């Protein structure tokens, strides 16, 4: 058996074109025609390319015959090939995606006597885009210095569920203390799922705020190109009343950091505040 397997590998390798890459988007954007690409390679001893065929499920939808420089589309399944571009190394077609999941197969055959074929398949599913922009909830009117805020971002039902990313002042937040995982709801009747992710903001951790932080939530669907929807809000931060700009700048040099460092900053601060309060008494 093993020997047979190796012999068949050897024959396949030497007698026909081999597909080196099949590129079918896993998720298709319903508003954009999807491009499917099949790349193949010919070894020096291989016979010439005979044809490249594309199938949707079991139905042939497209054929490129190399010797005749001919391309043909087949319209039996109602899926139309909009456009194509094929040569001895690559055959790309554009299709209008259909609802649901379909398996697309690229099949490359070499000239006789064997007309050996190589084929590969991949599934493509039509994505269902969210109808609404992501929604940020739980935003406080203002946070006092030293306080924290929890905000929540929810993305509308979609297929697949959106991945949510949080940005503070344009910087992606990945620290698990600041933002947890993207949570995904159960599927609705059509198989769509909503997702949400919380952001735990410690305004003192960000050196640059001028009375507010800009919070942005981005919901991404992995279509090609990705479908991105976003919502941005301002989180207003009360300024500290008793602290000189010298100490603020000193603190911001230290901050940009973990929560533990933040807490130690806060306690140093508290001590310094106490000391400055005591000073007038001592002077008296
Ligand atoms: C494919 O068939 C559909 C109807 O079955 C038709 O509307 C469409 O124009 C056809 N496309 C091509 C390229 O022939
Ligand atoms: C489709 O046609 C356009 C020009 O009409 C071309 O730029 C594009 O590359 C074509 N796509 C494919 C997959 O051949
Ligand atoms: C495509 O999807 C079907 C059914 O969901 C699955 O059985 C098959 O293995 C998938 N094919 C590929 C190439 O992922
Ligand atoms: C965030 O919003 C989602 C959806 O509205 C909700 O299910 C979840 O409980 C909220 N999480 C928090 C921490 O408020």
- Could you read off the pLDDT tens digit of each residue along the chain, which spans 284 residues? 454 454 455 444 456 789 999 999 999 999 999 999 999 998 787 788 999 999 999 999 999 998 887 888 887 677 779 999 999 999 999 999 889 999 999 999 988 777 889 999 999 999 999 999 999 999 999 998 789 999 999 999 999 999 999 999 999 999 999 999 999 999 999 999 999 999 999 988 887 667 899 999 999 999 999 999 999 999 999 876 555 444 555 444 444 443 343 344 344 444 444 444 444 444 43
pLDDT at 152: 97
- The pLDDT value given to residue 45: 78
Query: Which ligand is nearest to the Cα of residue 181, counting in written order?
Result: 4
CA atoms within 13 A on the CB side of 146: 11
**pLDDT for res 79:** 75
Helix extents (H) in the chain: 2-15, 245-254, 259-283
CA contacts within 13 A on the Cβ side of 141: 0
- The tokens 């040099």 sit on which residue? 253
pLDDT at 281: 44
**pLDDT for position 268:** 40
Q: Return d(Cα 95, Cα 74) in angstroms, integer.
A: 12
Token duo for residue 22: 């099949």
Q: What is the DSSP string of 152-200?
A: EEEEEEEBSPPEEEEEETTEE---TTTB-PPEEPPP-TTS-EEEEEEEE
Query: In testing the pocket of ligand 3, which one of 19, 119, 123 has its CB within 8 Å of the most ligand atoms?
Result: 123
Find how far residue 97's CA is from the centre of its chain.
20
The residue contributing the CA closest to ligand 1 atom 14 is: 75
Looking at residue 47, its pLDDT comes to: 85
Atom of ligand 3 nearest to the CA of 122: 13
Ligand nearest to the CA of 149: 4
């Amino acid at each position: 058996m093993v020997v047979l397997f190796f012999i068949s590998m050897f024959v396949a390798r030497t007698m026909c074109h081999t597909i080196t890459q099949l590129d079918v988007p896993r998720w298709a954007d319903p508003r954009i025609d999807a491009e499917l690409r099949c790349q193949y390679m010919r070894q020096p001893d291989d016979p010439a390319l005979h044809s490249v065929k594309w199938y949707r499920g079991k139905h042939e939808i497209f054929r490129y015959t190399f010797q005749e420089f001919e391309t043909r589309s087949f319209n039996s399944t109602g899926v139309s090939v909009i456009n194509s571009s094929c040569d001895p190394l690559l055959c790309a077609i554009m299709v209008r995606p259909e609802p649901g999941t379909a398996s697309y197969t690229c099949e490359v055959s070499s000239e006789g006597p064997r007309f050996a074929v190589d084929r590969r398949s991949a599934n493509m599913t039509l994505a269902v885009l969210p109808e609404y922009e992501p929604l940020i909830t739980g935003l406080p009117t203002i946070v006092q210095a030293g306080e924290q805020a929890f905000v929540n971002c929810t993305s509308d039902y979609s297929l697949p569920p959106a991945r949510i990313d949080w940005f503070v002042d344009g910087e992606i937040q990945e620290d698990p203390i600041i933002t947890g995982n993207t949570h995904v709801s159960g599927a609705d009747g059509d198989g769509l799922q909503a997702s949400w992710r919380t952001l735990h903001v410690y305004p003192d951790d960000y050196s640059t705020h001028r009375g507010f932080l800009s919070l942005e939530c981005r919901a991404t669907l992995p279509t090609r190109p990705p479908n991105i929807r976003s919502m941005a809000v301002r989180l207003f931060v009360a300024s500290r009343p008793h602290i000189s700009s010298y100490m603020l700048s000193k603190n911001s040099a230290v901050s940009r950091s973990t929560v533990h460092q933040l807490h130690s900053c806060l306690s140093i601060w508290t001590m310094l505040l106490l000391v400055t309060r005591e000073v007038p008494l001592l002077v008296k």
